[in-house]
Structures are given as C-alpha cells and as structure tokens.
Amino acid sequence: MASIRELHQQLVSKARSARELTQETLQRIDATEPKLRSFLHLTADSAIARAEAVDAKIASGEDIGILEGIPIAIKDNMCTRGVPTTCASKILENYIPPYDATVVEKLSAAGAVSVGKTNLDEFAMGSSTENSAYQVTGNPWDTDRVPGGSSGGSAAAVAAGQCVVATGSDTGGSIRQPASFCGVVGLKPTYGLVSRYGLVAYASSLDQIGPFARTVEDAAIFLEALAGYDSKDSTSLKGDVPNYAAALESETIANLHGDKLKIGVIQETFGEGLDAEVDGAVKAALKVYEELGAEVEMVSCPTFRYGLPTYYVIAPSEASANLARYDGVRYGARAEAAENLIGMYAETRARGFGAEVKRRIAIGTYALSSGYYDAYYLKAQKVRTLICQDFKNAFAQYDVLVSPTSPTTAFKAGEKTDDPLSMYLSDLMTIPVNLAGLPSLSLPCGFDRQGLPIGLQIIGNVLQETKLLQVAQRYEQASEWHTKAPSL
Amino acid sequence: MTAAAPTKTPHETQYEAVIGLETHCQLSTNTKIFSNSSTEFGATPNTNIDPICMGLPGVLPVLNQKVLEYAVKLGLALNCQIAPYSKFDRKQYFYPDLPKNYQISQFDLPIAEHGWLEIELIDDDGNPQRKRIGVTRAHMEEDAGKLVHAGSDRLAGSTHSLVDYNRAGVPLLEIVSEPDIRSGREAAEYGQEIRRIVRYLGVCDGNMQEGSMRCDVNISIRPVGQEKFGTKVEIKNMNSFSAIARAIDYEIERQTQAIETGSETIVQETRLWDENLQCTKSMRSKEGSSDYRYFPEPDLTPLEVPAEQVQGWKAELPELPREKRHRYQEELGLSAYDTRVLTEDVDVTAYFDAALTAGADVKQAANWVMGDLTAYAKEQKLSFADLALTPETLAELIGLIADGTISGKIAKEVLPELLEKGGSAKELVESKGLIQISDEGELEAIIDKLLADNPDKVEQYRAGKTKLQGFFVGQVMKATSGRADPKLTNKLLVPKLKG
C-alpha cells in the first residue's frame, strides 16, 4: 500500500488521477466492507467530486498540496456539515450537523478526499467498537476479533487500505489501543494541539483528535494538517505548528543528554496481566533501540496504577454533563409517546443510549452529587495532579517513555462485553497519558503467534510530537512490521 | 384591585426583617456570552441563535471578552475585589429552555467579591440618610431561553409549550447582596442604585420590563436583638422597584402575623408576587434543595485577569452615582432632593455637569435642567443626550440673564426655539432684537415721553395711587417689546413719578 508521498508523486506526475485513486479506494471499501463494517456512512459522490476538482487543478498546471486528492476517513464523532454524524448512537440517528468540525474544515481546505465516516464505540466510550449502536467492526487481521476502540472503524479502515489515513479521537487510549490492535500508527497529540471544535464531547478535559496512518511519515503529514490554534476552542494551544514531516528528514534528534537518546521504560506496565508475547515483542523493540544507540532504562511512575480509577471518575463526570443535551427537545431522537416532560426525557434517553453510555452517565452523576464530590471528583483531580508530577519527574531524565500500548492483542468479539472491568483494563497503559495531557503514539512492534499485531507505546513530553515521531521512525526504519498488510 | 395584604396590627414584640437581594443584570454586549449571535431584544423567536447557544453536539464556548470587561467594571463600581484567579462551572439541571441542560455559571470562584454599595434615602426633613449594603459576590453566567406556554397563559392548563432560544446565552451578571437590607424601601433603593450604576457604566440598560434587570428577594424576620436568622423565603416575579417594596412589606406583615398568631408556619419556599392581587403566593417548597452537581467547566480555561488590566478598566470608570451625590450635596450645595433628581438619569447628570463646566451657575442650571428641560425632554420623549440645546448653550443662556443682557422672561421666550433648533443663545436674542435695554438715556427718554403723554395718571400717582407704578412699568415694557431692564426701569421711573 502506497504512502501519502508516493500517492502525491503519482498524482503530480499524472501516473494516476485523483479520480482513479478515489474510485479504487471506493472499490476496495466495497470489497472489504462486508467483512469489516468500518464505515457508518460513505460519501462516495462528494469524494468523486472532490477528486475531480483536484484533477482539474493538476490539469491546469497548478501545484497541489501534499494531502490533495488523498482518500481519508473521519471518525463519526466529528461533525460534518450535511453528512450524518451519529457518534454510533441511536440518539443521534439521522442527525445531520449544520457545521463542520474545525479538523473537517482544515482537511477540506487541504484538499483531502473524505470517503466516509467510521464506526466507533457509542460516544467514544469503549475499547472494542462493540458499543456501536449500529454494527460491530471486524479486525482486518482476524475479522472475528475486535479492532479495539473507540476509534475501531478508523483503525480498521487504515489497516485494510479502505483509506490512506483517518482521524481518531483519544480520551483514554481510543486512538492508540485500536492502532495497536490493527497494526497501524496512531498518535494522540498533546491536549490542545488539535482543535476539539466539532468533536462531539465525551470527556472534555481528556478528548483529543489525532491521526491513524500506516507509517510514521504519513502520521506526521496528517498531524500537520490537523494541528493548530483555533479561536473556537478555548483550550486550544497558541503557537506555530512545526513541520513534522520535514523534521523526519533530519539526521539528528534533539536529545536531552547529548548524542544519546534516553528512553525510560515504565516499570509499572510490565507485570501481572501483561500477555507474554506482548512483553516479548516490546522488549525486543527496546533491544532494537539499544542497538540504534539509545540508552534504555527502567523508570518507575508510582502513580501510574491510579490512572484507571482516576479516569473512571473524571471521564464519566464530564460525560454526564456533556451528554445531558441529548434530551429529545431540539434534535436527535425523541420518544413521542411520553405523558409529560420528565417522561419524555426519561424515555428518550432510555431508548437512545446504550448500556455503556448509561453506565458512565450514572457513574458521573453519582460522583458529582452533593456529598460525594469531594470523595470522588475532587480526589480524582488531586490524583491527576500527582500523575502529571510523576511524568514531569520522568521527563527530567528521559527523552521519551515507552510501554506496551495494550496488555493484550485483539480479543474476540463478545469476549469482554459482559465484563466491563476487564474491558476497561485494556486501556490501563494509555489512560495516564490522557490525564497528563501528553502526546503519545502507538506503532507496530511485532505479531503474536496468531498473527495479531502488537503495539509499542511511546510517550513524549508536552508538545514534543516532533521528537516522538522521530523516535518512532528510527524503529520503523529498523523493522519491517509496517510493510505487512492483512490478507483479508 | 383588591388589597389582600394583611392589615397592620400592633405587635407586642418588635420584629425586624433580614433581606438580601439577588439581582440579575443582562450585560449589554452586542453578542452572546459564548457565541456570536445577537443579543437584541424582541427579535422573531429563534432567529438570534447559532450552534453554540443551541448546544448542538460538538460545540465549545469561547468567552466574549466584552462580558469580562463589563463584569470587572461593574465589580469595581460595586467596590468589590476582583478575583485574580476565577473560573466557570457547570450548573446542571434539566429544563427545555436550557439547551445543554447545564448552565455555564461561576460557583466557588466568582469574578468579584466582598463589595458594597451605598443607598441614600431622604427622610421627612429632606435630609439624606445613607447606608452601606454589602455585596457578597458578582458572577458571570449565561441566560436560558424562554418558554411560552400555549393554550393557557400559565403552565397549568397549557396544552403544549414553545421554546424561544433567542435569550439563551445572553450574558448575565448576578449580584448577590449581604442580608443588610431591613425594609421594602431600602430594597427598592438598593435596586435603583444598582440600576443607576449599571446605566452610568453603560453595561446594562436596567430595563425591568424587558427583563434585562431582575431582582429576587430573600427575606426572613426575627425579633429585634436576636442574632439568629429566621426561616428564609424567596420572592420572585417583581417587575418594578415599587413592586419589590410592596412585596417585601406584604411579606414582613405576613411573616410577623404568622409568628405572632401562629396562623401558619413559615417554611423555606419560593413565593411569587402577584401584581393583580398585591400579595405573595407559594410557588414551590425549597426543602431538600436541588443538587446542581456543580463542577469546573472543562471547556473554558480559568480566568486570570492581570492587575494592569483591572487598573486599566478602573481608570475608565466614570464618576459613579454615590460620588456624584456626595459632590452635588457637599461641594455644590444642592439639596438631597435636587441631587436625587439630577443624578437619577446618567444623561441628565452628564448634561448638568457639562453645563457647569461651561460656566453655568449651579442653582440656575439645576432649575433649568429639572424644570423646563426635563418637561420638554419628557414631552418629546427625548434623552438629554439628544437635546438640540447643548449644555454649553444653556450655560450661555444663563450667563445672558446673569449679566443683564436678557431678562428671565425673554430667556423663557427664546427657550422653545433653542430646544428645538439649538444654536447660539446670544445670536438668537441678538437676531430677534431681544437684547435688554439697559441704557439709562434711552430708557429715560421713553419714560419722559410716557409721563408727558399721561399727565392725569401722573397726578393720580402723586395723589397717593402708587399702584399706578405697575401701569407705567407695563407701558415701558410695551414700548420696548419687553426689552427694558426691569430693575433699571423702576429705578429711573420712581423718582420721576414722585417729581
């Protein structure tokens, strides 16, 4: 499967037209979608029209941008004007936003060709995409298995060549864990690097949009298009967006300690619950880094284990407020038969939300209730501060931190749906990163005996996406995992 | 109208009311607090809306910086401490007029705290009675939309309800007073003082009928001398200051009677003022108050207003009503009553001050402004800011009287034209030939001729009919079209009459 740069060359040299590229992509979707079910809505007509516009530009001799004519997909929790945006929820069935999310606007402006909206866990709550109210997405490496979640549709689509790159959103691991499960690169940027305007909120202080790609370079190019200050998002960070892809051309990495890259391996992520094959693959990857000249050491982040309980107070608390607006009054589904207002609210929400969403709304409502606030929400915020402090200490010594992305490889569909706690555990290693607002990516570092991809998580300090991508690419260039594609 | 208020009866114990007000001021920004829709009142329902104020999926709030400026300025005018670190919180409750089912408000770290304002009541002797009322806090928040119940004018009995979201997201500043108020009159004055302040600052139009200023009252009574507060009752639905005063007076009497006679138990509740029946009615019990599940708004970063910014805004504050009252009374020597009239309207006081700056005499300026000018403005429904007659011209007119160029009578004659067309007072009286004749020779000639033409009247005068002096003055005025200097005329006339 070709990279963005290769496809761009083909378009510029007229070896291939954007229309051809889009049509081939749509054909690939047609052929694979019955098995994968990655997409909730396809936008074939508008994709062809956009591709034709790019072709017209090339024909007239104009220069085109790096993403122009490149087929992409959008996670269905990002608003697209005139195109359904359901968040994989019944409560937003047939909901069509009147505006574009900032990232959607930016990608349109960059000339990217969106082929459709991808499946997810309802309102991005889940780790397997099984919480979608509409369909279960298959993992391209074994369609009986889950693609991870919540951005499972995007991860599967990129892995299976249904698009070149796709957007995901990551609140507790929703980009990195499915990237790991599907054998692709997934990056969660620093909180505030990418605008959240138009991203349907799950947990506002944790949500962040980022790229899925098949290579580190593609991720860098796509991230550059997504990132940047947005006056519509008060939590958006000011400052210029670095040229991430250009930085990958550079021979040197700006290390903390002279010429040696110092990698800290988070001790707490190895141990009970970690699959032996995942453990082996990650340790082998660390060997590769050592061979490349990096200094690799174990580092303890003692508060790491408090990440999960902290997250499951803060995220549901914010979610309970964020999801209060789905009440049937102004938009979305409404239960019509109710006798009165309270009945209408109750019935609309009872029918419109799935079990996991209801569970988190209930947890959050409880945690914020008078008399419980201090014990839960306030305490969780304090722990969050401690987790940030732990990372800060670690980054005083190390350039990057690494861990497995997920304790296991992709599990079977239905395996964990009745056991929410076990499902929650698959985000154990990614969650603390969101609590600290740090950038982090997952890239393929091997396969288990069943042929399922294993992911390596690399965590960077605030706004160090460049270093993160550089470090990841060093490994990618020394390995061949990214060249493998699922057979389907 | 039936006055259903309990009639006053003498009580054995002396009770005092403990009253606090919560005042919502709609800040007069052009756009909403977190989005760009217009805040204009009275637009067609659901036309001043956008994805953000409608709470559509995916939208985020961005604070209108004008709201922060107005809130800080109002906080400063209320003598509050401006919080160097403040934040927004979500106040959660479900209601169809609240698009997100939470209101973005400020909970534990409001923008302004620990302030006060001064109210001034005038006693029976016309003396000012001043009192400071504490301001606990002032915080920013968004307004909700408006429900219109159809099929009935009340919720009960209506068949369905319509929602107008034009008001959703309109910026409010809620000002909470300390329980320092003791009577309906004080409460009404407190409300009026807030209205004056917001109008002086230009941050709110203070219009109670349109709802851009709303006051809720918390009231309890206790025996004089007791520290502990009684059971608190909230009163809503007053749309004028006099209604606030009447509602409080009614409630004081109701609660006193309840305690004295044991006729009813005072419960913590919200009561509505019924303007038609002139009484308060129970709306809902507040026992087991709602749990709003406040938590910090994650979509907005905490507010850190730099001290220099606060200083900058402070420097922009105009002279405030209290400062004006003190200056008018203590420096200009105006009465408390005149001061109240002159300071009530920001345009009037600005006009008055400008006239003084242009050199007008204080008393004269006050009389003209409160008298003819106010009457004209009222009749024409004009603001003082829109009068064609500028304060400088008023000063000029007053000066013309003072230096004897024209008489007061002439001044009144030319006023209508000046009010209507403006222009220079001096040029007008000159062009109309209305300048007073103060030339002794000229007047003497006129008087001499008059005496010569009326020998019989002169004789009668000299025989004791001194009332005829009026006749001669009148004739002089007639001969001069009213331009003769009346003082000088008398001074010259009398010796000649007497012979």
Q: Once rounded to an integer, what is the mean pLDDT over residues A332-339?
A: 89
ipTM: 0.96
Q: Once rounded to an integer, what is the mean pLDDT over residues B452-481?
A: 90
Q: Are strands A71-75 and A113-118 parallel, antiparallel or unpaired?
A: parallel
CA nearest neighbour of B325 among B311, B337, B338, B339: B339
Instruction: Answer whether B451's CB lies under 8 Å from B458's CB.
Output: yes
CA distances from A31 to A9, A28, A360 (A): 26, 5, 36
- Predicted TM-score (pTM) of the model is 0.92
CA nearest neighbour of A169 among A211, A138, A136, A230: A211
Nearest residue of A to residue B165, measured between CA atoms: A330
B196 falls within a domain:
yes
CA nearest neighbour of B179 among B241, B97, B234, B243: B234
Tell me the pLDDT tens digit for each residue of A185-230.
999 999 999 999 999 999 999 999 999 999 999 999 999 999 999 9
Q: Which residues of A touch B59 (CB under 8 A)?
A: 197-198
B131 falls within a domain:
yes
**Residue B475 and residue B385 share a domain:** no
**Residue B201 and residue B71 share a domain:** yes
Instruction: Answer whether A44's CB lies under 8 Å from A177's CB.
Output: no
Angle between helices A18-36 and A44-59 (to 10 degrees): 160
Q: Which of A234, A325, A327 sits opposite B60 (nearest CB)?
A: A234
**Residue B254 and residue B191 share a domain:** yes
Q: Which residues of B touch A377 (CB under 8 A)?
A: 295
Q: Answer left, alpha or beta for residue B381, where phi above 0 means left and psi between -120 and 50 means alpha.
A: left
Q: Answer left, alpha or beta for residue A69, where phi above 0 means left and psi between -120 and 50 means alpha.
A: left
Q: What are the residues whose beta carbons fall under 8 Å from the beta carbon of B259, sequence distance 6 or more?
A: B15, B221, B230, B266
Structure tokens of B49? 């809306």
**Residue B264 and residue B187 share a domain:** yes
CA distances from A324 to A364, B53, B96, B164 (A): 11, 15, 11, 19
Amino acid at A203: A
d(CA B7, CA B254): 9
**What radius of gyration, in Å, describes the C-alpha atoms of chain B?**
31
pLDDT at B7 over 60: no
Tell me the pLDDT tens digit for each residue of A362-373.
999 999 999 999
> What is the set of active-site residues of A?
75, 150, 174
Angle between helices A216-226 and A465-478 (to 10 degrees): 160
Contact B291 A201 (CB under 8 A): no
- What confidence score (pLDDT) does residue B3 get? 39
- The CATH number given to whatever domain includes residue B474 is 1.10.10.410
**Residue B189 and residue B55 share a domain:** yes
d(CA B175, CA B136): 8
**Residue B366 and residue B239 share a domain:** no
**Residue B425 and residue B453 share a domain:** no
Contact B51 A99 (CB under 8 A): yes
Contact A368 B58 (CB under 8 A): no
CA nearest neighbour of A103 among A88, A114, A115, A90: A114
pLDDT at B13 over 90: no
Q: Which residues of B touch A203 (CB under 8 A)?
A: 298
Instruction: Answer whether B438's CB lies under 8 Å from B488's CB.
Output: yes
Nearest residue of A to residue B104, measured between CA atoms: A321
**Residue B424 and residue B280 share a domain:** no
- What confidence score (pLDDT) does residue B10 get? 58
Nearest CA distance, B312 vs chain A (angstrom): 24
Q: Which domain holds residue B401?
A: 345-431
**Residue B238 and residue B355 share a domain:** no
B330 falls within a domain:
no
Q: Please compute, for residue B359, the number of CA atoms within 13 A of its CA located in the half-sphere on the CB side.
A: 10
What is the SS3 assignment for B256?
helix
CA angle B180, B181, B182 (to 5 degrees): 120
CA angle A111, A116, A119 (to 5 degrees): 135
Nearest CA distance, B102 vs chain A (angstrom): 7
**Residue B371 and residue B236 share a domain:** no
B43 falls within a domain:
yes
Q: Which residues of B touch A85 (CB under 8 A)?
A: 57-58
Cβ neighbourhood burial of A65 (10 Å; 0-12, 13-18, 19+): middle
Nearest residue of A to residue B100, measured between CA atoms: A325
Domain boundary among B382, B413, B431: B431
Amino acid at B373: L
Tell me the pLDDT tens digit for each residue of A79-123.
999 999 999 999 999 999 999 999 999 999 999 999 999 999 999
Nearest CA distance, B202 vs chain A (angstrom): 27
**Residue B306 and residue B274 share a domain:** yes
B319 falls within a domain:
no
Q: Once rounded to an integer, what is the mean pLDDT over residues A377-401?
A: 97
Q: Which residues of A touch B57 (CB under 8 A)?
A: 79, 85, 87, 92, 95, 97, 200-201, 325-326
**Residue B159 and residue B75 share a domain:** yes
B254 falls within a domain:
yes
Structure tokens of B272? 């509505």
Banded model confidence at residue A252, pLDDT cuts 50, 70, 90: confident
Contact A199 B300 (CB under 8 A): no
Structure tokens of B359? 């050199």
pLDDT at B153 over 70: no
Domain count of chain B?
3
Tell me the pLDDT tens digit for each residue of B103-125.
999 999 999 999 999 999 999 99
Question: Does residue B124 belong to the interface with chain A, where contact is any CB pair within 8 Å?
Answer: no
Instruction: Answer whether B495's CB lies under 8 Å from B467's CB.
Output: no
